Structure 1
Amino acid sequence: MRNGLSLKWVISGSFLCLIAVVLVIYSKLLPEFTVRGLFYTASAMMEEEAQYFLRHYKQDPTTPTPHNYFYTSVIGKEALPQDVRELLNTSPSLSFGAVNIFGDLYSDDDDEPFQIILEQPLGDGKTLYMYDIDHDKEAGGEVQTPLSDAYFDQVIESVKFISLAVFVPALMIIALLVWWLVRPLGRLVQWSGTLKDPDALAGLRPGFSFKEFNMLADALAKSVEQVQAASQREGRLLRYTSHELRTPLAVLKANIELLALQSGGVLPPSLQRIERSVLNMQLIAETLLWMSREHAESLPEEDVNLSEVVGELIEKHRYLIGNRDIELSIDIHDEPCRLPPTACRIVIGNFLRNALQYAEEGAVDISFKYPRLVIANHIREVKPRQESDDYGYGLGLQLMRQLCAKLNWQINVIREQQRFTVVLDFTRVKAGESAV
């Protein structure tokens, strides 16, 4: 695959991106749910202790309030420390289960710890307040738990190992899957490049492991076979037609020359029209014969003065004007151009003949400045366009399109309200582009 992205890289890259996104989401959610798990543990412990105290308080109001290393409790807001009492006047950062949490939960600043507070009504108008204790401010600081911390670090390392254990095998499986899928596809692409050879098309088609690829290969081979058959039929038709036309045209031309000799070199108008038609038919036959060649050789180029060529073609086709009031407006630079002269005469003569034949009364504008030749004829109104007709240009224009495509020239047909313009650009079309 020379252009664009390779399919195997697209598939593998997509899977890798998917795994990366899953791991990122997992790494982001893991701390979040770890914190929530700790909050749940704290909420459950404090709520259970509060309920246990409430049951004994109803039996004996002198029951001492719960107190341990992690939290303590008092009855009544007035008994709370000043900083805890001030927190109750603000909105909690998070309400989780039975507790309210105040402060920044995810701050890395140890000077701004969060506070967990539980409020438990006692049924006699009093309220039990339970809150956690910050031991960092005590003498000696918080008690260290090296054994528990080591166990937690071991759990985190296990989580990292499990993540890698999932990622690496998944990557290997994806690579194998991509190779398994793309390998027959690459073989299919390689085989399809050989279908231009008739021997390869007629040979045995290789298997591509998957039923869908085999069906695609069959459809591709059948399509190429149909296209080749149609191309061969078209080529044979063009060659047979051009060869069969050349013999009667040669006979007509020879007899017209004999009649011209017998009449003193001047033919009557009727025979002049026949002579011009024979010349046009010869040009068309030569064009068809040249276009029908599968590998047409490059036409020899010479220094062509288009001003002289157009002048000769105008005199040759001036009879088409007849009695119509048509004015020719010619603006052609007479600088020589490197072009194939025969092809220039065929193409320009065809366009000029159609312009003079189908122009309404008015002006026919002919201008050339390398590399663009513009021929425009005025019309009264745009007629409805038929499938095989370009306002009278018809088959001639289609033949000229194909001929210019062979020569790598460009044609642009412009239809306006009262104007029909053909632009012929002699600039060579680059490989990979197409003529207009």
Structure 2
Amino acid sequence: MKQMLVHVERDVVQTAVLTNGKLDEYYTEQAADGQTVGSVYKGRVVNVLPGMEAAFVDIGQGKNAFLHIDDLLHPNLEQKPREKPPISKVVRPGQDILVQIVKEPIGGKGARVTTHYSLPGRWLVYMPYADYVGVSKKIPTEGERARLRQAGESVRQAEEGIILRTAAAGESTNSLARDVAALRGQWAGILEQAEKAEVPAIVHREAGLVQRVVRDILDAETDEIWIDDSRAYEEVLTYVRSMAPAMESRLLAYSETEKLPLFEKFGVSSELDKAFGARIRLTSGGELVWDQTEALTVIDVNTSRYTGSKDLEETVFNTNMEAAAEVARLLRLRDAGGIIIIDFIDMESVEHRQQVMGTLEALVRKDRTKCHVVGWTKLGLLEMTRKKVRGRSSGKHLEPCAACKGRGTLYVNRPSQD
């Protein structure tokens, strides 16, 4: 069973996805912060740095946004010039420019922006100037991929680009055409708004967390959508009625008169306490020790209380296999990004090492954020990367523990008991 839970408390929206009762995905957003990835701004080029092949753009966020020359050239690789022109010939200081945020400000860095604009819909991503059709690699059958590619070609116009999402599998050409028409109209509105706006200004704000999660995660396998806030319920109801009316019966309001808050009722709060801990106990008795910095995440796997039943190699292998599955899940929940080093317990068997890495690779393919398993290092550590788009989510829920002088953290964003 797949369930989606939406909890709203004061200025914080939290969304959890459970698969057979186990917390599988978790997202949060504070109203004061909002979502900036996907938002479109009318900005002004402040300076151009030929040595970095980049420009800095004032979009009104305090820190200037970073714009690389690759994000200025044509989004279709076949139409890009063979040799990059000097960036000073592409943009100049004082020039007004329309940009879209692709990476939020993190630490002391400003946002990263692009002119490769894209608008996500229910079934596809619309790119006004990309001039190509792409199909999600997660659609397994080549026949369906070919059908969708042909459908995408038939519904796009002139230089428009389209990427068919995984959710588009099985959808009719008419459904895709309606999605394209809606996004085409949205883009026209953005251009109209940009014409009138004074620099710097936001001309399109990406949808809020609730609508984004429903848009990106809701599928035929979703059995229930529980929402404990009347305004959020109406927002989702309106969206579902317009985009997936057959799913309306699965939308359920969680009454405020219930004895337990929504996240407590479904065990999400206790799951989050465990997921954001420095030490995470595995079901077998093994343990993960998690250490995370801004650029690097290190995960140590220990057998701890698990002693196995056969021999040492089998015990180590079973612990590592369980750890691989749990690491893949926790990377999503904690939204860890950057370089990730996993110190699995040493295995003598080459076959076991390959199985552990293969399991991790298969599981991270399901992640909505791009992951890449690099492989084993000479020291026997497994190295991988996960794309960092936003500031890590744990920073919004954890505060330094006074008892250990900031070496530990406490989870502070739990739903209230009142």
TM-score by length of structure 2 reads 0.22
Structure that is richer in helix per residue: 1
Structure with larger RCO (C-alpha < 8 A, sep 6+):
2
More strand by share: 2
Answer with 1 or 2: which has the greater Rg: 1
